[in-house]
């Protein structure tokens, strides 16, 4: 496929659908070169207090995350993204998800969780939504903030997966408005 056929500007933070041409992701990759990086081993707990079933109870998982990256061109080393340059992203993941208790900001028990945090019984993180779908979008944004500031728009994260176990995961797939596929 010629480079001219690959040039496209993707819409702002919107999901796109393309062919399933062998990617198994329900879309074509946004550029010729992509790569992915996984991070795992973040034991944390949360609850979905509005859920009528067992998800309303505090429960925990060892979360893991996978990021898919693309670039307008390879760097001087022939990489889309140098994986060793992602330590800042890994540190953000650890601060948010490693041995922490995640709670929605509108949880009616928030004052009790805050009291337990102050007593040293848990390491509280208040989020807009603790669900895996919202977590995938949150870490997608973290990855793109890092990449844009560091690479000046050459790279982006086009997909982030938040996984709570081997059976359950959620993805956020979008191209940032500032990224233009070359």
User: Which residues does 181 contact at the CB level (< 8 Å), separation at least 6?
Assistant: 6, 7, 8, 9, 10, 30, 31, 70, 72, 175
What pLDDT was estimated at residue 18?
34
Identify the pLDDT of residue 115. Answer: 98
DSSP string for 78-119: S-SS-GGGGHHHHHHHHHHHTTEEEEETT-TTHHHHHHHHHT
- CA-CA distance, 86 to 83, in Å (whole number)? 6
- Number of compact structural domains in the chain: 1
**Is 121 a domain residue?**
yes
Whether residue 90 lies inside any domain: the answer is yes
Position 30 scores a pLDDT of 72
Q: Tell me whether residue 141 is in a domain.
A: yes
pLDDT in tens, 141-153: 999 999 999 999 9
In a domain, 151, yes or no: yes
Does some domain include residue 43? yes
Q: Which domain holds residue 158?
A: 30-181
Task: Report the sign of the C-alpha dihedral through residues 81, 86, 92, 97, in that order.
Answer: positive
Residue-wise pLDDT for 71-128, tens only, equals: 999 999 999 999 999 999 999 999 999 999 999 999 999 999 999 999 999 999 999 9
Assigned domain for 24 exists: no
């Amino acid at each position: 496929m010629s480079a001219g056929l690959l040039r496209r500007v993707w819409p702002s933070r919107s999901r796109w659908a393309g062919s399933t041409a062998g990617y198994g992701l329900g879309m074509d990759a946004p550029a010729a070169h992509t790569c992915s990086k996984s991070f795992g081993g973040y034991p944390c707990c949360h609850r979905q207090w509005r859920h009528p079933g067992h998800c309303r109870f505090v429960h925990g998982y060892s979360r893991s995350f996978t990021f898919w990256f693309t670039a307008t061109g390879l760097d001087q080393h022939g990489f889309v993204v140098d994986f060793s340059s992602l330590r800042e992203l890994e540190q953000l993941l650890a601060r948010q998800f490693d041995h922490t208790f995640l709670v929605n900001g509108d949880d009616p028990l928030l004052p009790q969780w805050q009291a337990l945090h102050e007593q040293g019984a848990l390491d509280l993180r208040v989020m807009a939504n603790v669900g895996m779908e919202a977590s995938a979008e949150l870490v997608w944004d973290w990855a793109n903030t890092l990449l844009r500031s560091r690479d000046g728009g050459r790279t982006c994260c086009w997909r982030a997966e938040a996984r709570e176990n081997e059976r359950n995961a959620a993805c956020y797939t979008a191209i940032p408005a500032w990224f233009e596929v070359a």
